[in-house]
């Protein structure tokens, strides 16, 4: 299966978007510094990727999100994971913009006794922002971990409070 990749420049750093051509398969903050060392062939590949409707729709979604607007139309997603992970990710999609839920609350939603198991599934999410794992917090309101760092999670939650 062919993967189409492009990089979106967000206020919080570069975000790598991947698609199978029909749906988003990955959206993640890049740990690499945003520097342009791409070859001409890589640049042409990114330009081709941004021409795909699903990539263009995702870029529009991200533009709206970072402009402080509540994105409404979620792009088509194709997350890869276990049946349990997919149940947890589906529950994350129900968390309203600007709201948070605890790992325990998500566990209740997916009928799981273990908030820790839910935490592992949340951490395995490869479609950040759109599947809003940043909206899940620890018990008693503590921010908790985030694959891309606590500072980015705090800034995302602050952005949604506008």
Say if CB 122 and CB 147 are below 8 A apart: no
Catalytic residue among 35, 72, 112, 133, which? 133
Q: Is the dihedral of CA 57, 60, 64, 66 positive or negative?
A: positive
Contacts of 64 (CB under 8 A, 6+ apart): 70, 71
The three-point CA angle 110-87-77 to 5° equals: 150
Q: Is residue 15 within a helix (H) or strand (E), and if so which, with residue range?
A: strand 13-19
Q: Is 35 among the residues known to form the active site?
A: no
Alpha helices, DSSP H, located in 2-159: 40-50, 53-66, 83-92, 103-109, 115-123, 150-159
Q: Which residues are catalytic?
A: 133
């Amino acid at each position: 299966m062919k993967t189409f990749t492009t990089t979106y420049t967000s206020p919080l750093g570069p975000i790598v978007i991947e698609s199978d051509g029909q749906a988003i398969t990955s959206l993640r903050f890049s740990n690499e510094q945003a520097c342009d060392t791409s070859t001409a062939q890589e640049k042409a590949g990114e330009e081709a990727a941004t021409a795909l409707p699903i990539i263009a729709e995702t870029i529009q979604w991200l533009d709206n999100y970072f402009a402080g607007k509540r994105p409404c139309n979620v792009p088509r997603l194709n997350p890869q994971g276990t049946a349990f992970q997919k149940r947890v990710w589906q529950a994350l999609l129900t968390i309203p913009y600007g709201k948070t839920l605890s790992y325990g609350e998500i566990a209740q939603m997916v009928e799981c006794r273990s908030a820790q198991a839910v935490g592992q599934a949340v951490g395995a999410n490869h479609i950040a922002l759109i599947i809003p794992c940043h909206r899940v917090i620890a018990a008693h309101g503590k921010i908790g971990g985030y694959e891309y760092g606590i500072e980015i999670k705090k800034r995302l939650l602050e952005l949604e409070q506008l």
